[in-house]
Chain A
Amino acid sequence: MQAAVRMDEAELIRAAQQGDQRAFEQLVRLYDQSVLRLATNLLRSPEEANDIYQEAFLRVFKNLHTFRFDCSFHTWLYRIVSNLCLDALRKRKVRREESSVIETSEGLLDRMDAVEERRADSDPERSLESQELKQRIQQVLGGLTPRERAVFEMRHYQGMRLRTIGEVMGTSEEAAKNCLFRATQKMRAALGDFV
């Protein structure tokens, strides 16, 4: 099945490189859900996640002719997405953290309404046990460095192997492993009392 996926994808990429709009759109559809998911989890803001989504696929569109199949398309795309997310996280570090609640003409609006808690209702066994724990996790994630956070998100939520994460982040598997180790250590220290 893996081979079939790769073959379909390679054909799509070649067709898209020759200007086939439909092929490009299919290529986007193969990955856009996971791109939006990664950006949403990393930035915890639907507007910023959408900005990353737009910018990432526009860059893919403009630079697809330079893609030479020397790495997988997934790695190439995630390199673009993770760079954009890291930039956004670093910029955020230097300005004040925005609240998810904004004031509109129709009253207060929580921007995070545009995202859903994973499996919150379908699998109560794995849903969070308390609001307090949720808030604590958000705080801990916010306290990780951008690189730690990116590695953690890609490993924990996207299920990517550390070797691939290393390729995406332009570093070694060992460095990605250390980053993940630091992230989990910080989370254990901060959440130890809750679980």
Chain B
Amino acid sequence: MTCEETRKNLPLFLYGELSFDEEEQVEVHVDECDACRLALAREKALFQALDGAEMVPAPQLLEESRVELRRRLGTLRGNSGMRAPSIWDKLREGFTIHFHFAPGIAQVAGAAAMLVLGFLTARMAPNSLLGNWHSAGLVDPATSRVRYVEPMAPGRVQIVIDETHQRVLSGRLDDQAIQRLLLTAAKDPSDAGLRVESVDLLKNNSQSAEIRSALVYALEHDSNAGVRLKALDGLKQFAEDPDTRKALTQVLLTDDNPGVRTQVIDLLVQRHTDAMVGVLQELLEKEDNGYIRMRCQKVLQEMNASAETY
């Protein structure tokens, strides 16, 4: 590869966008050519300067955008009639579907029949079948759902009910009961947004061993990169701790998100240890992110270690 071709390829080389062969040719050329090595150093400096020019929206802007979107979606749903069907919508649909094909008079007759049926049921059915459970607080149709039923001895049944009751709790972030709830929310598999917010709150109390362990777990296992980045934030001050370093090393080698790997490598290379040489060499074999590759190579160079494994 000529000097001109090499220099043309330097940005793509740093972005990890060259083919294996092209990358090899650039590396060989740069090793042998002082002028191109200098050009590569300048290109890296340019990349670093550009990195610093990135704009990150302030959290307040994001929050305002979310609030506005929620409001506009609400208006849109109201106008178009689009909204999530609730359990009562589904029940109502179940009752009305039979009338859709009937003429208007049949719908009126059906509605009247339902009224009469309700009236008679209320008058004739024993209290033990209707009002008692509700008044005794056993079931509340607005917040309960029968999960499954299981026949027992003849004439008896066991009913398992899922109940959702909303309660509002407030308390200090260092309160153990609050922390326990946040730890549970931080693992809620159904809501990544909730996990992000919970981990964000927990990370300020990472002196607690339980919280630190939850942060390590989130960093290693959470499927959402936003959650992993928040957990990483909370672990930054423990980058010297051997167990945390071990977890960070594992994440550096396995995480599929370049943003997470970038932050992890920045943390790990603050202290050069012999154990890192093998990790960085292993990473270089598969890493395609230009910045991370550059950091690896720089640290290995500073430690007088080869960038390759043999």
Contact = CB atoms under 8 A, between A and B. Distances in A.
Most chain B C-beta atoms within 10 Å of own C-beta, residue among A30, A33, A113, A187: A33
A19 B43 contact: no
A58 B72 contact: yes
B46 A188 contact: yes
B contact patch SS? helix
Interface in B34-74: 42-43, 45-58, 60-62, 64-66, 68-70, 72-73
21 contacts: A1-B256, A2-B256, A4-B223, A8-B223, A19-B84, A25-B70, A25-B193, A29-B196, A41-B55, A49-B61, A54-B69, A58-B76, A62-B76, A114-B60, A118-B54, A119-B52, A127-B52, A155-B15, A162-B17, A188-B46, A192-B46
Interface string B268-308: 00000000000000000000010000000000000000000
Interface size class of A (residues with CB under 8 A): 35 or more
Given A115-B56, A115-B61, A191-B46, A5 B223 contact: yes
A58 B289 CA distance: 33
B62 A32 contact: yes
A117 B65 contact: no
Given A1-B255, A133-B49, A195-B45, A181 B12 contact: yes
A121 to B, nearest CB: 11
B234 interface: no
Interface of B: 8, 11-12, 15, 17, 42-43, 45-58, 60-62, 64-66, 68-70, 72-73, 76-77, 82-85, 191-193, 196, 223-224, 226, 254-256, 258-259, 266, 289
Contact of B49 (A37, A119, A155, A194): A194
A195 B259 CA distance: 24
Contact of B57 (A30, A40, A134): A40
A61 interface: yes
A32 B58 contact: no
B61 A36 contact: yes
A43 to B, nearest CB: 10
A41 B55 CA distance: 6
